[in-house]
Amino acid sequence: MIAARTTNHRRRVAAGLLGLIVLLSILAPLLTGTDPRDATTGAELVSPSWQHLFGTDLLGRDVYSRTLYGGRRTLGVALLTVGVTLLPGLITGLAAGYFGGWIDRALMILMDALLAFPALLLALALVALLGSGAIQIALAVGIAGIPAYARVTRAAVLEARTRMFIEAARAAGAGPAGILWRHVLPTIAPPLLAFAGVMLSWAILNSAALMFLGYGGDLSAPDWGVMLADGRAAFRTAPWVATAPGAALSLTVLAINLLAGSLDSRPGRE
Amino acid sequence: MIAYALQRFGAAILVAWLAVSLAFGVLRWLPGDALDATMARAGASDAEIAARRLALGLDDPVWQQYALYLADVLRGDLGESLVSGQPVSEMIAQNLGPTAALAGGALLVAVALGVGLGVLSGVGRPAGVRYAAEGIASLALSTPVYWTGTLAIYLFTTVLDVLPGVGGRGVRYLILPVCVLGFHTAGSIARVTAGSIRAAAAMDFIRTARAKGLPESDVLDHILRVGLLPVTAVVALQLGFLLGGTVITEMIFARRGLGKVLLAAIDTRDYPVIQGLVALSAVTYSLINALADVLYGLIDPRVRMDR
């Protein structure tokens, strides 16, 4: 009882925090009149004040505005990354888990081979191939995430396949596509959703890592990863430049992790 | 047991072969013209490029290149850098030391911290201890290395002035990067340990142990013996995260190592170097995971029985 109440409370706090961060990012143009790319000469590394809530960076750009707009780009790239992971991962996992046999074995050995590459190294190698840019980063990190998602999907399908109503649907003559879509997918949705949350926080951290390393293409675009790289050099004299995006990044990932954790431990689920 | 070990290592070798083949397909065959671009940028003439292509066998049929590549890899020959002409295996050998020290040290910190936090957040008392341990583990999971690294350098070198910061080669220069990378790797280990400990604490034999009046310290011993078993597998799985993390850690702390070599190779599109490093990490990772599985099977016979 008490545990359930704590989980509920945590979920509400996490959802509120995440909602707030998303809202702040979406409403960025309403919340600041300063262009995040506007470099003001003579106003470099100004400490926080009423005019610049979070101060300014090395080029005199407003950190408050860059953090708000940075949320759009960082979260946007992360969502795109998860999109790249989800569809092929889901299809591979469903096919492997449902059909079994040699299809399963062939798909899983391919996934194992991909899984053998440390994810960030695979993403880096793909960036070398695809070139710099936000879309390229989403593709590279997204592809690196596919094998993990396929494996989790497959495990969930294998468990669902043993349920009586799926046996019954097959006995009643339903085709594989119908069974997968109407019966298997709704059954495995909760754990897959929880894992999609895990993938989202993973995507944020890794795509921001590639941004931090300078593979984002447009270097003046506001982005939490890029801002952390900008702020690193000046941290001793102007800690505010890195602190704002760093705190935003950590809070976002923390909120997503809490939400994903509470999704997985919903009452009635083992 | 020997059959299980052979089967597990056989699977690992198959996976490693596939991973090396993938690296060949994606990083050598697809960017086949990378050499031209790289050499042209370095100011080589068309004739020189053509001669180099011929020497590297880039105009041969793909299957022939692939067979040659596999034979080379088996002999430990990973090709040459397009930029410096240095053998890739030599570049790896020269830079392996600092990276292995960083990864090994971070792994030790991660296991000690991760298992400690995991046990505390699983069965710690009072509840405040559990929450604190959980909080630290959550923090490790939600802050990236490239953010805590900056904070740690500032805190320990500028504010407290107890440790040297970036650059350098001595052991003292290793402490901070090892702790930062270890802290992040500890997050997932702590999480899995906590879950496993909680599951063990809820088992029937623990209730029996309590019911028959065993002292709490003996009960804890029972819990840990069962709850800590799966941790070996998780630690091996975390090695992938660790290998990726060394790249960023080396960059932040301006350290020499394989990560630095990799980032330089990506900037110059030096595909043989990228390919060699990525293939090496995949082979290392799958073999170490096979080893961990076999060890796990040795200490917990139930794993073998499942097969």
Quickly state the pLDDT bin for A240 (edges 50, 70, 90): confident
Is residue A200 assigned to a domain?
yes
pLDDT for position A132: 87
DSSP run (H or E) holding B153: helix B145-153
DSSP state at residue A270 = -
**Cis status, amide bond into B126, omega within 30 of 0:** yes
Mutation target vs A (from B150, B183, B241; most A CBs, 10 A cutoff): B150
Look at A113 and B147 and tell me if their CB atoms are within 8 Å: no
Distances (CA, A) of B97 to B12, B111, B246: 25, 21, 12
pLDDT over threshold 90, residue A165: no
Q: Extract the tokens encoding B229.
A: 């078993």
Residues in chain A with CB shorter than 8 Å from the CB of B146 are: 208-209, 212, 225, 228-229, 232
- pLDDT score recorded for residue A81: 94
Does the pLDDT at position A229 exceed 80? Answer: yes
Q: What is the pLDDT of residues B23-46, one digit of tens each?
A: 888 777 666 566 666 667 666 777
* Residue at A195 is within a domain: yes
Closest C-alpha among B154, B215, B201 to residue B180? B154
Residue with structure tokens 């001793």? A236
The answer to whether the beta carbons of residues A57 and A242 sit under 8 Å apart is no
**A267 confidence band (pLDDT: 50, 70, 90):** very low
Q: Do B143 and A250 touch (CB under 8 A)?
A: yes
Q: Which residues of B touch A125 (CB under 8 A)?
A: 23, 26-27, 266, 274-275, 278
Counting residues of chain A whose pLDDT is more than 90, the rounded percentage is 24
Is the pLDDT score of B168 beyond 70? Answer: no
Interatomic CA distance for residues B93 and A235, integer angstroms: 34
pLDDT bucket at A1, cuts 50 / 70 / 90? very low
Task: Indicate the number of domains in chain A.
Answer: 1
CB interface of B with A, residues 13-72, below 8 Å = 14-16, 18-19, 21-23, 26-27, 30-31
How high is the pLDDT of residue A189?
86
Contact criterion met (CB < 8 Å) for A109 and B281: no
Confidence (pLDDT) at B128:
86
d(CA A118, CA A138): 17
Q: Let me know if residue A40 belongs to a domain.
A: no
Q: Is residue A55 in a domain?
A: no
CA-to-CA separations, B234 to B109, B186, B193, B219, B231, in angstroms, rounded: 15, 11, 9, 24, 5
Q: What is the mean pLDDT of residues A36-65?
A: 75
Query: What is the pLDDT at residue A270?
Result: 35
More confident residue, A3 or A57: A57
Q: Give every CB contact of residue B39 below 8 A, 6+ residues apart in sequence.
A: B48, B49, B52, B82
Q: What is the mean pLDDT of chain A?
A: 84
Nearest beta carbon to residue A117 from set B30, B245, B282: B282
CB-nearest to B278 from A125, A246, A254 is A125
Q: Is position A165 within any domain?
A: yes
Nearest to B143 by CA among B96, B89, B87, B184: B184
Confidence of residue A137 (pLDDT cuts 50, 70, 90): very high
Q: Is B107 on the interface with A (CB under 8 A)?
A: no
Q: A265 pLDDT exceeds 60?
A: no
For the ranges A44-53, A169-178, A187-196, B253-262, the one whose mean pLDDT is highest: B253-262
Asked if B280 has any chain A CB less than 8 Å from its own CB, the reply is no
Q: Give the whole-angstrom CA distance, residue A227 versus residue B160.
A: 25
ipTM associated with this complex: 0.85
Report which of residues A107 and A55 the model is more confident about. A107
Burial class (CB in 10 A: 0-12, 13-18, 19+), B133: buried
Rounded to whole angstroms, the Cα distance separating B69 from A36 reads 49
Neighbours of A219 (CB within 10 A): 12
- Distance between CA atoms of residues A233 and A212, nearest Å: 12
Residue of B11, B144, B283 with shortest CB distance to A209:
B144
Mean pLDDT for all residues in chain B? 84
Q: Residue A188 pLDDT more than 80?
A: yes
Give me the pLDDT at residue A170, please: 79
- Is B26 close to A118, i.e. CB distance below 8 A? no
Tokens of residue B268, six digits: 């110059």
Interface test with B, best of A5, A122, A204 (most B CBs within 10 A): A122
Those residues with Cβ within 8 angstroms of residue A98's Cβ, 6 or more apart along the chain or in another chain: A157, A161, A176, A179, A180, A184
Domain assignment of residue A41, yes or no:
no
Read off the pLDDT of residues A92-135 as tens digits, 9 standing for 90 and up: 999 998 888 899 989 988 898 888 888 899 999 898 888 888 89
List of chain B residues whose C-beta atoms are within 8 Å of the C-beta of residue A265: none
Residue A54 within any structural domain of the chain: no
Buried b (16+ CB within 10 A) or exposed e, A63-87: bbbbbbbbbbbbbebbebbbebbbe
> Residue A146 and residue A86: Cα distance in Å, rounded?
7
Identify the domain containing residue A131 by its residue range: 2-31+60-263
Residue B305 has pLDDT above 60, yes or no: no
Question: Is residue A44 domain-resident?
Answer: no
| CA–centroid distance for A168 within its chain | 37
C-alpha distances out from residue B131 to B19, B126, B128, B138, B182, Å: 41, 9, 5, 10, 21
Query: Is the pLDDT reported for residue A50 higher than 80?
Result: no
For A80-91, what is the mean pLDDT? 93
> How high is the pLDDT of residue A143?
93
What HEC string does A162-229 produce?
A: CCHHHHHHHHCCCCHHHHHHHHHHHHHHHHHHHHHHHHHHHHHHHHHHHHHCCCCCCCCCCCHHHHHH
Q: Which residues contact B44 (CB under 8 A, 6 or more apart)?
A: B52
- Percent of chain A whose predicted confidence (pLDDT) is above 70: 93
Rg (CA), chain A: 22
Give the confidence band of A3 by pLDDT, cuts at 50, 70, 90: low
Q: In 3-state terms, what secondary structure has residue B164?
A: coil
For residue A97, the domain's CATH number is: 1.10.3720.10
Q: Which residues pair with A21 in a beta bridge?
A: none
* Residue partners of A180: CB distance under 8 A and separation at least 6: A94, A98
In sequence order, the 6+-apart residues with CB closer than 8 A to the CB of B269 are A128, B31, B34, B37, B38, B82
Token pair, residue A80, equals 């795109």
pTM: 0.86
Is pLDDT at A47 greater than 80 in this prediction? no
Contact across the interface for A113 and B285, Cβ inside 8 Å: no
pLDDT of residue B32: 56
pLDDT digits (tens, 9 = 90+) for B45-88: 777 777 777 777 777 777 888 888 888 888 888 888 878 888 99
Give A64-128 as a DSSP string.
HHHHHHHHHHHHHHHHHHHHHHHHHHHHHHHHHHHH-HHHHHHHHHHHHHHHTS-HHHHHHHHHH
Does pLDDT of B155 surpass 90? no
Give the residue-averaged pLDDT of B227-256. Answer: 85
